[in-house]
Amino acid sequence: QHRTIRVWLKRDSGQYWPSIYHTMSSPCSAMAYHHDSRRIFVGQDNGAIMEFHISEDFNKMNFVKTYPAHQNRVSAITFCLTSEWVISTGHDKCISWMCTRSGSMLGRHYFTSWASCLQYDHETRHAFVGDYSGQITLLKLEQNTCSIITTLKGHEGSITSLWWDPVQRLLFSGASDHSIIMWDIGGRKGRTLLLQGHHDKVQAICYIQLTRQLVSCSADGGIAVWNMDISREEAPQWLESDSCQKCEQPFFWNIKQMWDTKTLGLRQHHCRKCGQAVCGKCSTKRSSYPIMGFEFQVRVCDSCFESIKDEDRTSLATFHEGKHNISHMSMDISRGLMVTCGSDRIVKIWDMTPVVGCSLATGFSSR
């Protein structure tokens, strides 16, 4: 926010010190770094994206060019080396893709809400864009145009983070509704898995394909590692009914049945396990059900509560405390290292190998 970019190098003392301290013309809002070419793209509040090239010793940063990508804050950037495209989303409700050779705009597509996050499949040129309305749009980008493939709707809050796994063709989305959804894009069956274990908005996610684990971070500092290498159950669709599907008592909008039975209407609830519409008297119990993604206790009907065994309540995720309000997260999967940035302006580096598998089993190299 104070318009600076820094490159931190680890010194012989073990301490990190900035080797580059560069001030921008506008606050920085998004960043993409391409490791092999050492090219860095920085999005700003004014809508521009600036490209720099970092020297081999990471002690110098040379300006390359500015891209007039957006009319408002840049929210996400990705760089595709094969096509030489820089693709970005912004608060001007659009995705843009630009040629890094010429610096010219190739195409734009507008949405009805702020575009908040972006993932891109380099091989198929498919872009996934999450927005503030809670919708994810799948686009096919061409040289100067694009086409909408589908839209994904499942979250009740704005999309805050996306992660695309091109190997299994899985899309993971995190949102301000505290939940994560796994979308099985490759399966073509519309299969979705719901994961609920955070108590604040999900700020960042990373799927480790090698170990079938998902790492997620939330604004309250929670870090979760989800085991995705098991057969999980889909959460059911919520059923609609004018009366409780257990005791048949009318809900409060069912005026006819209330009049006929001379009873007062009840409030409608839903069992998270079977999806049935039930009243409060028929859903007095709460239970976790990790195989369906419910890591903390949720409302279930009394009959479903009886069907859940103690072993069914065994957690399928591990939870850790980041001890700062996490704004951003990035993982170096090859070394099992994670970086979190907090709203407290502190950057933390984590050794994740104890919780994401030992180095021998996962192929992580030693630090």
Which pLDDT does position 367 carry in this prediction? 36
Q: Quick one: which of 294, 285, 338 has its CA closest to 313? A: 294
Which pLDDT does position 335 carry in this prediction? 86
Hey, what's the torsion of the CAs at 232, 226, 200, 118, to 10 degrees?
-90
Calpha distance 191→181 (Å, rounded): 10
| Amino acid at site 113 | S
| Amino acid at site 347 | V
Burial label for 362, CB within 10 Å (0-12, 13-18, 19+), is middle
255-313 to CATH, choices 3.30.40.10, 3.20.20.70, 3.40.630.30, 3.40.50.150: 3.30.40.10
pLDDT tens, 12-54?
998 999 999 999 999 999 999 999 999 999 999 999 999 999 9
Structure tokens belonging to residue 152: 């994904």
Which pLDDT does position 364 carry in this prediction? 44
Residue 315 has pLDDT above 70, yes or no: yes
Q: Quick one: which of 82, 80, 76, 69 has its CA closest to 108? A: 69
What is the number of other CB atoms lying within 10 angstroms of the CB of residue 130? 31
Calpha distance 167→101 (Å, rounded): 29
- Mean per-residue pLDDT over the chain, rounded: 91
Quickly list DSSP for 197-230: --SS-EEEEEEETTTTEEEEEETTSEEEEEE-SS
Delimit the domains of the chain by residue range.
4-234+315-356, 255-313
pLDDT tens, 263-279?
777 788 899 999 999 99
* Cβ atoms of 141 and 88 closer than 8 Å: no
Structure tokens belonging to residue 328: 């951003």
State what percent of residues in the chain have pLDDT above 70: 96
Q: Quick one: which of 182, 221, 214, 181 has its CA closest to 198? A: 221
4-234+315-356 to CATH, choices 3.40.50.720, 3.40.1670.10, 2.130.10.10, 1.10.760.10: 2.130.10.10
| Amino acid at site 117 | C
Which tops the pLDDT comparison, 32 or 251? 32
Residue 191 has pLDDT above 90, yes or no: no
Structure tokens belonging to residue 266: 């009840």
Which pLDDT does position 358 carry in this prediction? 47
Residue 362 has pLDDT above 70, yes or no: no
